[in-house]
Amino acid sequence: MRNPMAMNIINPGQSLLKKKPFSSSTMAPLTLDPDPPDIPSQIFSVISTHPKTWQKHPSILKLIPSISPSHVTSLYNLSLTPQIALDFSFWISQKPGFKHTVQSYAALLNLLITNNFVKASEKVVIFMFKSCYAVEDIRFVLDFLKRISGTDCEFKFMLSVRCYNTLLMSLSKFLLIDEMKSIYREMLEKMVPPNIYTFNTMVNGYCKVGNVVEAELYVSKIVQAGMSPDTFTYTSLILGHCRNKDVDNAYRVFRLMPRKGCRRNEVSYTNLVHGLCEVKRLDEAIELFKKMREDDCWPTVRTYTVIICGLCGQGRKVEALKIFDEMLEKGCQPNVHTYTVLIDCLSKENKLNEARKLLSGMLEKGLVPSVVTYNALIDGYCKEGLMEAALEILGVMESNKCSPNARTYNELICGFCKMKNVHKAMALLNKLLERQLTPNLITYNTLIHGQCSVGHLDSAYRLLHLMKESGLVPDQYTYSVFIDSLCKRGRVEEASVLFDSLKDKGIKANEVIYTALIDGYCKAGKVDNAHALLERMLVDDCLPNAFTYNALIDGMCKEKQVQEALLLLKKMVKVGVNPSVETYTILIEEVLKEGDFDHANRLLDQLAFSGLCPDVFTYTAFIHAYCSIGNVKAAEDLMVKMSEEEIVPDLVTYTLLIRAYANLGLIYSAFDVLKRMSDAGCEPSHHTYALLIKHLSEKRWMKENNNLVGLYLVSNATFADVWKMMEFDTALELFEKMLEHGCAPTVNTYGKLIIGLCKVGRLAVAQRLFDYMRERGISASEDIYNSLLNCCCELGMYDEAVRVVDGMIEHGHLPHLDSIKLLLGGLYDKGNKEKADAVFCNLLSCGYNDDELAWKILIEGLLNKGHVDRCSELLGIMEKKGCQIHSLTYTMLIEGLDAT
């Protein structure tokens, strides 16, 4: 019997033993990375044998690319002479790609100090302070200093004022203010007199964190010591005031500088410009920026970047690009941050081609984009659903040795979930874990929302359990997603139970959660329950918003309670909640259903009187009403008005017009609308094409038959009937008409037809269309493949389904696991074990999330269908392949196997 694993994320077969760190030093214990033992000993051997010529020895030259700081640290702990150790330290530091660490410097200092190399030790200490690249480095240094200057140390080392100043600067860099204060006190205790650099570093450190009061105490110490504050002092004070958003006092210091005989420099200006941008006084910042030259100061790359960032932050992209061009003209080269700000701004405004050009420009100039730069562009592509482009940027990022972070994956996961491609989003969870990054609340919430949006509530609940197991606490958003999803699927009672449990979970229901449940009750026809929940919401001190009232108004309208809905509108205004465009549109739509155009127009006037503008949904409601009574001219007049008001018609708007023209027998005009739709970049839906196919079928029937009963059946066919009756020749006629009107069939056209046919089991016609499409050089989308796969499985055509899966994998597409679940079950039922195993093994190389594979295939597909032995075998395959199965999933599998 298997034992459930207790780790959060397990990799079957990996060792649970941890290697213990070791340390070795005569004075200060140093933590070393595990090293190949031969490299330090080889270096030591060459140096010992050839003390004067070792630098040119072939053996040591051959080792250079392999020498790391940890090797050097180990070398210094061998019996090297201090002078040779110093020589080696300088020699290796000159080699490309090598950088000393605080650990390697500390090992060298142990050797130098014990041999009384005082002057050299001071230089090395300064190098060590300057090589602190992380907080951990500086903390290591502080601990090391305690050891070499402690009372119990045989060889004490005294820091000079220069050493102390360099250390203070390093501490200031990481905003370690308490440690700075402690080091300053140590200077005084050890009778090391501070100089102007000491005081200025203290002033600057406190100003960086906005503690101007403490900084000014050190300014007074400058004066007490008989010195004068200088440009650096005042510039730091400007920074401090700006950090506190106190720009007026920053200005006061700025104006004081010339009176105190201090020249204002580029940093003084930049600090104040940045402060003004931070408090949204952007025009003042630009004025100050322009005055720099009058003071014989020239903007630096940081000054330009601060202004560009401020402009981008206020949506003034054109001005930002103008400043960027000026920057280039003046010969000031933008840095990574400058480019990142612009790329982020352009990406947010959907100017993705321009953003991509800037990234290419960076790379051409040899600048190394940061993870923030790449993330900005990836986020832009993901928000527009351009996932291939987003993944391409990820590829560029990785090829340039820039490691993605958790945010990179969160943005990609969000993009795939938005496109309802949840399997690819889940696959990215695997990638995130493989890089030893930690999924956060955003990761899990996004995936839960994605699973819920495609109706996979079981998978969403499993993710919730994994989330809790990882130590994360679900928040309001997590539960609002579940409640909303349950309501949308008509499971309002379950949603209500979950809602009532929130208090025990320590979650206070907010307006989003209340609104989701109110909407759920309304859609279930339980308007009284919705009203009761609104009252409870008010009692709980949770204020309803326009969305809350809109849900209730919509519910009342659907129950034909229009007068009550209008009263609720008045009540809504009375309690201080402003109606939205959607509020009026709901009411307009309802009265138009009754043919009451006068009332609808009065509501439209009321909408305008409220300071609102009608949107595409408002106009579409009127267009729907006009089309329903055959008044296409009035509908077209509204289309013109929409164009004048720069309101873009949507899929529903165009489809309504197509239906109206088709109903009037004006097929040419219907295709003309399809052309307008195509030119506007609006993709037709299944319904759009079904309407056109239906009316083409009617014309064909009238031409070829005199059977009025048959004509009646065609004319009154539902959308499902259209796909059931559609023949391949009808599709060819559709394509011909489309070409006549200048809108060539696209992969979307073929996709909508194939998916429509597959939904009603018309696989033969769907496959003919698929082949016809491929013959014309159009590559099938993942949706097309998945619809064919699902249809094959539903019809029990498993061999054909296997061929579809092979084709998908060959073209880089992921089959839906729900279809694979049916396929494997069907193959096992028919005794075709070898083929089923082969399909499963192919899936393991496609990058699916391992947990999702286990949930869908092993638990839902095999265990629940009684294929216990097959489940156990496939679990064994996953273990051998090193799949990362979460302990909770693993436990579920074992319990399922044991139970049977």
Q: What is the pLDDT of residue 697?
A: 81
Q: Which residues contact 203 (CB under 8 A, 6 or more apart)?
A: 215, 218, 219, 233, 236, 237
Q: Is the pLDDT of residue 449 over 90?
A: yes
Q: What is the pLDDT of residue 508?
A: 93
Q: What is the pLDDT of residue 847?
A: 86
Which band of pLDDT confidence, cut at 50, 70 and 90, is reported for residue 31?
very low
- Residues 693-697, mean pLDDT to the nearest whole number: 87
Would you call 764 exposed, middle or buried from its count of C-beta atoms within 10 A (0-12, 13-18, 19+)? exposed
Give the C-alpha separation, 374 to 384, whole Å: 16
User: Hey, how many other C-beta atoms are within 10 angstroms of the C-beta on 760?
Assistant: 18
Q: Is the pLDDT of residue 54 over 50?
A: yes
Q: What is the pLDDT of residue 30?
A: 42
Which has more confidence, 665 or 673?
673
Give the C-alpha separation, 620 to 608, whole Å: 17
Give the C-alpha separation, 305 to 342, whole Å: 9
Q: Residue 470 has which token pair?
A: 């990882």
Q: Is the pLDDT of residue 46 over 50?
A: yes
* Dihedral angle sign, alpha carbons of residues 561, 567, 570, 575: negative
Q: What is the pLDDT of residue 130?
A: 93
Closest C-alpha to 82, from 124, 32, 49: 124
Q: Is the pLDDT of residue 322 over 60?
A: yes
Torsion of CA 254, 258, 261, 265, to 10 degrees: 60
Determine which helix (DSSP H) or strand (DSSP E) holds 22, and give its type and residue range: strand 22-23
Q: Is the pLDDT of residue 665 over 80?
A: yes
Alpha-carbon distance values, 885 to 469, 837, 853 (Å) = 13, 19, 10
Percent of the chain with pLDDT over 90: 76
Q: Residue 185 has which token pair?
A: 């006190």
CB 30 within 8 A of CB 103: yes
Closest C-alpha to 475, from 451, 450, 500, 510: 510
- Residues 630-658, mean pLDDT to the nearest whole number: 95
Average pLDDT, the chain: 89
Q: Is the pLDDT of residue 742 over 80?
A: yes
- Residues 244-270, mean pLDDT to the nearest whole number: 93
Which residue do the tokens 């090992």 mark? 107
Q: Is the pLDDT of residue 328 over 70?
A: yes
CB 300 within 8 A of CB 278: no
End-to-end Cα spacing for the chain: 12
Give the C-alpha separation, 154 to 711, whole Å: 107
Q: Which residues contact 390 (CB under 8 A, 6 or more apart)?
A: 378, 381, 382, 411, 412, 415
Give the C-alpha separation, 167 to 138, whole Å: 9
Q: Is the pLDDT of residue 14 over 80?
A: no
What is the secondary structure of 728-776 as a DSSP string?
HHHHHHHHHHHHHTT----HHHHHHHHHHHHHTT-HHHHHHHHHHHHHT
pLDDT digits (tens, 9 = 90+) for 468-515: 999 999 999 999 999 999 999 999 999 999 999 999 999 999 999 999
Q: Which residues contact 381 (CB under 8 A, 6 or more apart)?
A: 347, 352, 387, 389, 390, 393, 415
pTM, to two decimals? 0.81
Closest C-alpha to 450, from 425, 433, 469: 425
Q: What is the pLDDT of residue 118?
A: 86
Q: What is the pLDDT of residue 705?
A: 61
Q: Is the pLDDT of residue 12 over 60?
A: no
Percent of the chain with pLDDT over 70: 93
Which residue do the tokens 């909303």 mark? 484
Which band of pLDDT confidence, cut at 50, 70 and 90, is reported for residue 55?
confident
Q: What is the pLDDT of residue 16?
A: 26
pLDDT digits (tens, 9 = 90+) for 64-119: 888 999 999 998 888 788 899 999 999 999 988 899 999 999 999 988 888 888 88
User: Hey, how many other C-beta atoms are within 10 angstroms of the C-beta on 566?
Assistant: 18
Helices in 301-351 by DSSP H: which ranges? 301-313, 317-329, 336-348
Give the C-alpha separation, 480 to 518, whole Å: 12
Q: What is the pLDDT of residue 898?
A: 81
Which band of pLDDT confidence, cut at 50, 70 and 90, is reported for residue 703?
low
Crossing angle (nearest 10°) for helices 747-759 and 763-775: 170
